[in-house]
Amino acid sequence: MSAAVGVFDLHADGTPPADPLVLARDWLPADDDPDRPRATLATVGTDGWPDARTVLLSAFDETGFAFHTSATSRKVAELAAVPRAALVVLWEGFSRQLVVRGDVVPDSAESLAAAWAARSDHLRRLAWCNTDELAALPRADRVQRWAADHPAPGQADGWAGYRLQPRELTFWAAGDGAASRRLQYTRDAGGWTWRFLAG
């Protein structure tokens, strides 16, 4: 992902966009870019402890930030219990970071199908074949099973999608001749408000 300055430079003087999604759209690649951003998804564990893992950011628009996974995964159980999450996207070289916090809702069938179509063959195969049963086998058996398994065409059974609807977005930029700086947007009934914070 490029770190080039676009609609607003966090270190420049002036007023940032009133809508944080304008800035997010400027920072993030288009949904049809095959090089999808990796993001850390943080949830509340069913045991009450924080939990986190890396996911692909499948898509982004005004309805939120989409990610997709197996319906039997731990994160799905956690989101069913507490449908809130945080998502952290980190740019190469630690030049930028975007933190999104909000509510999580099931993604649409259309978005689910589009995300599946955009997945590489390897990731589609993982969705079909990578089970706890496979993980418990000795390495030789796992290698043999992986080589022999030929998933059915089409979307994997139990593949699920979610969309994080932001209540807060925090944009962070590394310092270039100055300290790092954050721009935090918070949404309430009146819309978005913003403030600058120390990096």
β-pairing verdict for 159-173 and 181-188: antiparallel
pLDDT at 35: 87
Give the closest residue to 38 by CA, choosing from 97, 84, 95: 97
Contact 151, 134 (CB under 8 A): no
pLDDT of 194 strictly over 70: yes
Mean pLDDT value across residues 64-87: 95
pLDDT of residue 173: 95
Residue 3 binned pLDDT confidence (cut-offs 50, 70, 90): very low
- Residue 155: the pLDDT is 87
In 57-180 the beta strands, taken as DSSP E runs, fall at: 59-61, 64-70, 84-90, 96-106, 159-173
pLDDT at residue number 192: 97
Share of the chain above pLDDT 70, in %: 97
pLDDT class for 184, splitting at 50, 70, 90?
A: very high
- Give pLDDT, residue 2: 45
Domain boundaries, the chain: 20-119+157-198
Supply the pTM of this predicted model.
Answer: 0.89
- DSSP-derived 3-state class of residue 102: strand
Choose which CATH entry (2.30.110.10, 3.40.50.450, 3.20.20.70, 3.40.228.10) describes domain 20-119+157-198: 2.30.110.10
